């Protein structure tokens, strides 16, 4: 790879010095060869320098729309490219060193050169774009995602230019095949895809420095409604070619919009609720509840109905002002977010006690003042953690468990059929199984974007299909927000 990139960089430099026009590689021809040879990634070089092309199969059906299938294929293509180039920087520089050796009256001078190759994976992936579709054996359809030295250089230059326009301004491209709806329908779909890509870049579902954190259901929730997060955009390039329509936009993504109204994202996942654990200080509990209500996080007073628990520890310490001797009160505040069913901690944040000290009024007033100061100081910390947590939930769902009692080896095949059925449901993924033979229990843990009622309704139908014999199917014992208890 390094030798290839070294030659390609030299080739590109020569072309630029000579003023030659740089032509894009014949992507679809390359892709057809790849499909015929069964390749998923191919590096190469053209008159413009290096390139990397990736093929990702477009798989619709199984509860996925054509748009979601295209979104998934695009993300997989980017992951393939990232995996190929990760760890190297596609760019070259030379180091030279001079070594002198003296023997008698003669001095020999030796100069050596060493070429360094490095890869800016971010620049490569920012420049990666969908360039078309091709068909393979058996009618399989592949999306072609490609990156090149030209696109990486352009993306880096554009990123620097857009930095002047403010944070969260990105360039993104969308692609859609021209099908029954003709060009107008393809144009609309390509624009929606470009908006999804822009939101993805800002919210970080795809590209993170040297790796791609890919979520296969990314297109199903937040990104399927990406237009709501686009503050403004302008189309900088569009057109149809080879039966496909491409739109490139520069967009300002409203990152704070998700933080300001978590309710919209949470509503898409079902009836998700938060509960603020009581500390015995009603005034402080109310202060925390008001903060989560301000962010439109659905709250419940009933702990049993909650999906997530908000836990706060308020530690007030009295002290004397070091200068004038006034009595004061300082607060150390810890706020944690827990899974109501499993107790799993999602995050914990602490304030800076030095910024939460009050020396005004009696102790009751000082406590209130210190609490106000602490909440103002810790506000952004909670915001960021909650933003990341809900952004992840919106893309991949929340943690859900199916717990089976009276398990035995006789149900092993049935249990695996149920796990596979659940893992194939739209909005469900990463289903893993745990069996405790001595306790005769089994568990399926997975991520789910549905509320429990919807999950049960859809999953029960899938289980009936996967397990035809009624005698082998488990019965429901109980279900709460995150746990579904069953028994054989």
Map out the domains of the chain as residue ranges. 2-95+112-258, 264-395, 398-487
For residue 105, count CB atoms less than 10 angstroms from its CB and return exposed for 0-12, middle for 13-18, buried for 19 or more.
exposed
Residue bearing the bigger pLDDT, 359 or 294: 359
| Residues in CB range of 327: below 8 A, 6 or more apart | 318, 319, 320, 321, 359, 363, 366
116 C-beta neighbours (distance < 10 Å), count? 12
Asked, colleague to colleague, whether 264-395 and 398-487 share their fold, the answer is no
User: For 421-432, how does the pLDDT look when each residue is reduced to its tens digit (9 = 90+)?
Assistant: 888 876 677 788
Residue bearing the bigger pLDDT, 125 or 49: 49
Whether residue 204 has pLDDT greater than 90: no
Please enumerate, as own/partner, the contacts of 30-38 that have beta carbons within 8 Å and a separation of 24 or more.
31/55, 31/131, 31/132, 31/134, 31/142, 31/144, 32/134, 35/134, 35/135, 35/136, 35/137, 35/140, 35/142, 36/136
Q: What is the pLDDT of residue 474?
A: 92
CA–chain centroid gap for 449, Å, is 15
Residue for token pair 């009595």? 327
| Residues in CB range of 150: below 8 A, 6 or more apart | 22, 24, 48, 49, 127
Encoded tokens for 380: 């952004």
Residue bearing the bigger pLDDT, 259 or 330: 330
- Which of 53-67, 183-197, 237-251, 467-481 is predicted with the least confidence, judged by mean pLDDT? 53-67
Question: CB–CB of 233/412 below 8 Å?
Answer: no
In 3D space, the residue among 155, 119, 5, 125 whose CA is nearest the CA of residue 54 turns out to be: 125
Query: Taking residues 298-318, what's their average pLDDT?
Result: 89
The CATH number assigned to the domain with range 264-395 reads 3.30.160
H or E segment to which residue 83 belongs: helix 66-85
In Å, how far are 285, 328, 363 from 323, measured between CA atoms?
33, 12, 19
DSSP designation for 467: -
Percent of the chain's residues with pLDDT above 90: 15
In Å, how far are 208, 225, 259, 263 from 297, measured between CA atoms?
27, 19, 10, 5
Task: Give the model's confidence band at 472: pLDDT under 50 very low, under 70 low, under 90 confident, else very high.
Answer: very high
Does residue 375 sit in helix, strand or coil?
Answer: helix
- Which of 131-135, 278-282, 452-456 is predicted with the least confidence, judged by mean pLDDT? 452-456
**Buried b / exposed e along 174-188 (16+ C-beta atoms within 10 A):** bbbbbeeeeeeebbe
Q: What is the mean pLDDT of the chain?
A: 75
Q: What is the pLDDT of residue 209?
A: 27
> Which bin fits 330, alpha (ψ -120 to 50), beta or left (φ > 0)?
beta
Q: What is the pLDDT of residue 486?
A: 93
Whether residue 441 has pLDDT greater than 90: yes
> Which pTM was predicted?
0.46
Question: CB–CB of 381/349 below 8 Å?
Answer: yes
Whether residue 66 has pLDDT greater than 60: yes
Whether residue 193 has pLDDT greater than 70: yes
398 C-beta neighbours (distance < 10 Å), count? 25
The CATH number assigned to the domain with range 398-487 reads 3.30.70
**Three-state secondary structure string covering 125-179:** HHHCEEEEEEECHHHCEEEEEEEEHHHHHHHHHHHHHHHCCCCCEEEEEEEEECC
């Amino acid at each position: 790879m390094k030798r290839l990139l070294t030659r390609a960089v030299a080739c590109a430099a020569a072309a630029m010095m000579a003023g030659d026009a740089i032509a894009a590689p014949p992507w679809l021809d390359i892709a057809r060869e790849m499909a015929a040879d069964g390749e998923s990634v191919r590096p190469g070089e053209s008159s413009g320098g290096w390139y990397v092309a990736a093929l990702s199969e477009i798989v619709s059906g199984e509860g996925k729309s054509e748009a979601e299938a295209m979104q998934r294929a695009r993300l997989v293509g980017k992951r393939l490219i990232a995996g190929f180039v990760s760890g190297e920087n596609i760019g070259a520089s030379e180091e030279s060193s001079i070594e002198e050796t003296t023997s008698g009256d003669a001095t020999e001078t030796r100069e050596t050169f060493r070429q360094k190759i490095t890869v800016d994976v971010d620049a490569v992936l920012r420049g990666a774009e969908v360039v078309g579709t091709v068909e393979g054996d058996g009618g399989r359809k592949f999306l072609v995602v490609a990156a090149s030295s030209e696109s990486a250089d352009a993306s880096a230059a554009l990123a620097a230019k857009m930095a002047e326009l403010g944070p969260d301004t990105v360039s993104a491209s969308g692609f859609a095949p021209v099908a029954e709806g003709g060009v107008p329908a393809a144009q609309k779909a390509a624009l929606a895809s470009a908006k999804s890509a822009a939101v993805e870049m800002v919210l970080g579902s795809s590209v993170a420095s040297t790796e791609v954190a890919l979520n296969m259901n990314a297109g199903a929730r937040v990104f399927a409604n990406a237009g709501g997060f686009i503050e403004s955009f302008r189309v900088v390039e569009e057109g149809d070619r080879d039966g496909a329509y491409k739109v490139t936009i520069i967009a300002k993504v409203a990152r704070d919009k998700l933080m300001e109204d978590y309710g919209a994202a949470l509503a898409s996942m079902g009836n998700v609720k938060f509960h603020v654990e009581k500390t015995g200080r009603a005034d402080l509990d109310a202060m925390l509840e008001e903060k989560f209500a301000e962010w439109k996080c659905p709250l419940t007073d009933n702990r049993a109905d909650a999906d997530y628990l908000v836990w706060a520890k308020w530690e007030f310490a009295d002290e004397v002002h070091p200068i004038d001797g006034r009595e004061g009160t300082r607060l150390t505040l810890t706020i944690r977010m827990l899974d109501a069913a499993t107790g799993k901690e999602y995050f914990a944040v602490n304030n800076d006690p030095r910024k939460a000290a009050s020396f005004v009024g009696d102790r009751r007033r000082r406590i209130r003042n210190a609490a106000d100061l602490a909440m103002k100081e810790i506000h952004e910390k909670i915001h960021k953690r909650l933003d990341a947590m809900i952004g992840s939930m919106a893309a991949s769902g929340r943690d859900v468990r199916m717990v089976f009692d009276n398990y035995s080896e006789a149900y092993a095949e049935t249990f695996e059929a149920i796990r596979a059925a659940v893992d194939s449901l739209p909005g469900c993924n990463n289903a893993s199984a745990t069996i405790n033979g001595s306790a005769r229990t089994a568990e399926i843990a997975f991520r789910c974007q549905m509320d429990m009622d919807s999950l049960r309704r859809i999953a029960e139908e899938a289980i009936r299909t996967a397990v035809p014999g009624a005698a082998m199917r488990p019965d429901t014992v109980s279900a709460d927000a995150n746990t579904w208890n069953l028994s054989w």
